[in-house]
Every structure is written in C-alpha cells, then in structure tokens.
Amino acid sequence: MRIAVLQATSAVGHIDANLDVLAAAAAEAAGGGADILVTPELFSTGYAPDRIHHLDGAAVRQSVSTLAVRHGIAIVASTVEQSDAERFITATLFGADGAQVIHYRKSHLFGAGEAQFFTAGAALSPVVRFGDLSVALGICYDVEFPEYVRALAVAGADLVLVPTAVPVRVASEFDPTAVPRLLVPARALENTVAIAYADQCGTGFAGHSCIVAPDGSFAARAENEPKLIFADITSEAIRSARAGNPYLRSRRLDLY
C-alpha cells in the first residue's frame, strides 16, 4: 500500500481555501500512485480550538468524500463533530469511492484549550481491513500514549494513520519535534505497526511529519516545510517485522 502524508499550514477559519490545498494534495498524491492520503489535524478549519469549536464538520466531510471520489484516492481528514451539546475532534477515513470506512473521536485531548471546548472520545478507533492491511486511526496526542497504540496493535492493526497538529510551546523546554523523532518510531517498533503521522507546519507548529515502518525506521520524513511525502508499506513488511520482533508475543499479561 502506498501512503502519502500531507504536511502543510492551514488558515484558521478559511475552510474553502484549506479544502483547495487538500484537493491539490489529493491530486498530487493520486498522481504519485498513493492509495491513501493522510492530512493534518483539523486542517480544514485550521487548528485553533477556541475559534473553530463551534463549527460543524458535516459539510467538510462531504467535501472530502467528494474529493476522494474525484481523485480516486482514500483520504483521512480531521474535522469537528457536533453531537447534541458535545463537540469532538474527529478523524475519518474515506475510501476512494467516498464511503466512510472509519470515523473516530479523539480520546486524549491536549492541553486546556482542547479540554475547554471539546469532549474526549470514549472508544478506541475501529480496526478495519483496508486493502491488504488492517488499518486504524489516532489523532495527535493519542499516539503519545503507549497504551493507545498497543491496544490497536492487540486488536489487529497493521497501520495507524494519525492526523496531528503539534504546537510549539512558547517558553517551554520540551522539544515538540521529540514526538515525531522519538515517540512515533518507538510506538511503531514496540508494536510492529506502521504509522503515518501528518502534522501542520509553519509558524507555531512542529512539522516533522513522517511515515514509520513497523521496524521503527523512517520510511519517509519531512522537516518544517509544506511537503507531500510518500512511502510503501506492505503486508510482507508487517509479517517480517513481527517474525523478528517478539514484543507482542513476550508480553506478561499475568503481571500487567
């Protein structure tokens, strides 16, 4: 399966302009032979919880579905979902036929901004067979928790697709690029899963989007510039990683 990851900067509140960027990326990804395009967290609205939390992403999801059909490529897009009085940050995998394959609500909210305006999802992403791989979703902060990705791997996931928007924290000693440089490869290696991690970039965001193979190596990576990256993840690569890496088989479930 050929995966494309979009790293770009979206404009807060400018949905049409952001969808134009997404459409161009879908065309380029399809032209490059990709089966799936993964886009950043809340790309269509821009990442600003206090300014976009009231928006309903239903129309955006329909637009993404239409783009998937137009370009003949599966797309993962992150949007706001309104449900009664609650609001969720979500990610949806649309097939190349426009059908919704997976819809997931972010379960680990990052910081006071997200927690103030959104509700945390209460379930793991479904794991769905897609092509020759079993695929699941995560959103940004989710992947920083070993338990989340491990639970997906135990449920049968081969590939985890992760829209993200990692902010650069002012006056903080924490290096936000440590997440894609260190944690994402660790999650892949310890679970023998591939991970496609699509970040926003530019002022205020960490960038460093990546596609990581199930042995923890980088199959493709970006710095902090707008870029579309590609990598091939095969079922054989998953089988080979699991044959040589005993982490999942060596768990002591009698202890933990």
Gap between the Cα atoms of 121 and 123, Å rounded: 6
81, 106, 114, 144: the active-site residue: 106
State the pLDDT at residue 176. 87
Res 114: pLDDT? 97
Q: Is residue 208 included in any domain, yes or no?
A: yes
Q: Is residue 249 part of a domain?
A: no
Q: Examine the residue annotation and report whether 227 is marked as an active-site residue of this protein.
A: no
Question: What per-residue confidence (pLDDT) applies to 131?
Answer: 96
**106 has catalytic annotation:** yes
What is the rounded distance in angstroms from the CA atom of residue 252 to the CA atom of residue 179? 27
pLDDT tens track for 187-227: 999 999 999 999 999 999 999 999 999 999 999 999 999 99
In a domain, 256, yes or no: no
Q: Give the pLDDT band of residue 33 (cuts 50, 70, 90).
A: very high
Domain membership flag for residue 110: yes
Is there a domain that residue 40 lies in? yes
Catalytic residue (choose from 81, 114, 140, 201): 140
Residue 72 belongs to some domain of the structure: yes
Task: Report the number of distinct structural domains present in the chain.
Answer: 1
What mean pLDDT is predicted for residues 57-73? 98
Helices 146-154, 184-191: axis angle to 10 degrees equals 30
Please indicate, yes or no, if residue 53 is contained in any of the structural domains. yes
Rounded CA-CA distance 221/17 in Å is 25
Is the pLDDT score of 165 beyond 60?
yes
Q: How far apart are CA 39 and CA 200, in angstroms?
A: 9
What are 111-127's pLDDT values in tens digits? 999 999 999 999 999 99
Q: What was the pLDDT predicted at 189?
A: 98
- Host domain of residue 99: 2-244
DSSP strand pairing (133-137 vs 159-163): parallel
Structural domain includes residue 250: no
CATH number at residue 215: 3.60.110.10
* pLDDT averaged over every residue in the chain: 97
Q: 86 an active-site residue?
A: no
Nearest to 91 by CA among 116, 66, 126: 126
pLDDT of residue 119: 98
Q: What percent of the chain has pLDDT over 90?
A: 96
